[in-house]
Amino acid sequence: MSLSSCSDCFSDLLCGEASSSIISSGGGDFSPEYSSNFDSQPSDAAESISGLLEDERDLAGISSCRAIDQPIDASVRAEFVAWILKVQRYYGFQPLTAYLSVNYFDRFVCCCHQLPKMSGWPLQLLSVACLSLAAKMEERLVPCLLDLQVEDPKFSFEARTIQRMELLVLSVLDWRLRSISPFCYLPFFALKIDPSGTYTDFLTTRAKEIIFSTFKETSFLGCRPSCIAAATILFAANDLPKFSLITAQHAESWCDGLHKDEIMSCQQLIRQDVFKIRPKKQPKVFPDLRVTNRASIDSTSSLLSSPSPSYKRKSDGVDENEETLIKRVK
């Protein structure tokens, strides 16, 4: 689709949708049978990861863009990405759904970089359309288009308006909705770090948290998904003293296609952009176990067994003796 026709479609959206149609009753959606479940792993995990890395290289020109290609301010982008993540948490969508939503959003604005600077309702409409398309790709149950507009969006749109925007996104992306995400690598990398499987759940969960934090930063747009996955799983491993010495050089040997220099660059971005406002993590301090001799235990037991006045809690938080309360009633 040419940029001129893309611009015409935007003009058509602007002219055809008056303010009266922004909030209106609308139709529903359908949930497709197809789901590109990248998180599942076949029996031969190594072969599967090699295939993903090969597909990642093939899709590199389609699925990614650079920060300098963004025609919108980073703060504006972060605002709409934050809204997508809030809706993802609200409905409990898969992490991949959020990733695809942001991926479609970035690819669309990169392809339309010759359009006038976008802001306001077009970006809100784009966010809803991208989230809807991603949910149709990955979720079993997809809310209707009106119900998808939760968590205080700046603008709300009719279903027909969102459907037209979906068609525009599909046309600009040439209907190529497949994308390799960092999440599909995490189980494999976690087992490389901990073959016993004892800490793999912690490693993958912690890595997903860091990946979600990278969504808002434009600096990660040029990073390959496998590098983001390797860098975040290494940060997760550093939280466990047992694996704190595992480095990017070790990660390079996990499979062909990983390069320590790229992983280290991604790690540096995480330190600068994701952890820039976080205080340095303090080591966990476990409380000391107190050893009490038998005499003190006996004295404590005697105190606990001795009669003591009963207390009731007043609504204002002041303790009163039960006898005082009885006298007050009398």
Q: Whole-model pTM above 0.75?
A: no
- pLDDT, residue 198, reads 94
Give whichever of 37-41, 224-228, 273-277 has the largest mean pLDDT: 224-228
User: Angle 217-207-251 (CA atoms, 0-180°, nearest 5)?
Assistant: 100
What is residue 291's three-state secondary structure?
A: coil
d(CA 173, CA 63): 9
User: Angle 281-283-289 (CA atoms, 0-180°, nearest 5)?
Assistant: 150
- pLDDT, residue 9, reads 52
Give the number of domains in the chain: 2
CA-based nearest residue to 155, from 165, 142, 170, 169: 165
Last residue of a domain, one of 154, 172, 190: 172
Question: Would residue 289 count as lying in a domain?
Answer: no
Last residue of a domain, one of 172, 191, 225: 172
Does residue 292 surpass a pLDDT of 50? no
| Tokens found for residue 294 | 């038998």
Q: What is the largest CA-CA distance in the chain?
A: 89
Tell me the sheet residues that pair with 313.
319
First CA to last CA distance, the chain: 87
- pLDDT, residue 59, reads 67
Question: Would residue 85 count as lying in a domain?
Answer: yes
Specify whether 233 is located in the same domain as 96.
no
What confidence tens digit (pLDDT) does each residue in 79-104 have?
Answer: 999 999 999 999 999 999 999 999 99
Q: Which is more confident, 292 or 259?
A: 259
Question: Would residue 257 count as lying in a domain?
Answer: yes
Specify whether 82 is located in the same domain as 163.
yes
Question: Would residue 83 count as lying in a domain?
Answer: yes
What confidence tens digit (pLDDT) does each residue in 204-233 have?
Answer: 999 999 999 898 888 898 899 999 999 999
What confidence tens digit (pLDDT) does each residue in 133-179 have?
Answer: 999 999 999 999 999 999 988 899 999 999 999 999 999 999 988 88
Specify whether 11 is located in the same domain as 120.
yes
Half-sphere exposure of 175 (CA within 13 A, CB side): 0
| Tokens found for residue 172 | 């600009």
Specify whether 22 is located in the same domain as 165.
yes
Q: Which residues contact 95 (CB under 8 A, 6 or more apart)?
A: 88, 181, 183, 208, 211, 212
Question: 257: left (phi > 0), else alpha (psi -120 to 50), else beta?
Answer: left
As a whole number, the mean pLDDT across the chain is: 75
- pLDDT, residue 302, reads 42
Specify whether 24 is located in the same domain as 64.
yes
Of the pLDDT bands very low, low, confident and very high (cuts 50, 70, 90), residue 203 is very high
- pLDDT, residue 255, reads 85
CATH number, domain of 21, equals 1.10.472.10
| Tokens found for residue 179 | 């994308």
Specify whether 219 is located in the same domain as 163.
no
Specify whether 128 is located in the same domain as 202.
no
- Domain residue limits at 196: 182-274
User: Angle 190-204-287 (CA atoms, 0-180°, nearest 5)?
Assistant: 100
Does residue 322 surpass a pLDDT of 80? no
Specify whether 142 is located in the same domain as 240.
no
Does residue 262 surpass a pLDDT of 60? yes
Specify whether 243 is located in the same domain as 266.
yes
| CB neighbours of residue 158 within 10 Å | 19
The pLDDT of 38-54, averaged and rounded, is 66
The pLDDT of 236-242, averaged and rounded, is 93
Specify whether 265 is located in the same domain as 238.
yes
CA-based nearest residue to 160, from 14, 19, 28, 20: 28
- pLDDT, residue 109, reads 87
CATH number, domain of 217, equals 1.10.472
Of the pLDDT bands very low, low, confident and very high (cuts 50, 70, 90), residue 283 is very low
Specify whether 76 is located in the same domain as 157.
yes
Question: Would residue 94 count as lying in a domain?
Answer: yes
Place of tokens 């809803």: 128
Question: Would residue 324 count as lying in a domain?
Answer: no
Question: Would residue 325 count as lying in a domain?
Answer: no
Q: Which is more confident, 15 or 102?
A: 102
What percentage of the chain exceeds 70 in pLDDT?
64
Last residue of a domain, one of 113, 142, 172: 172
Question: Would residue 232 count as lying in a domain?
Answer: yes
d(CA 165, CA 248): 42
Specify whether 158 is located in the same domain as 189.
no
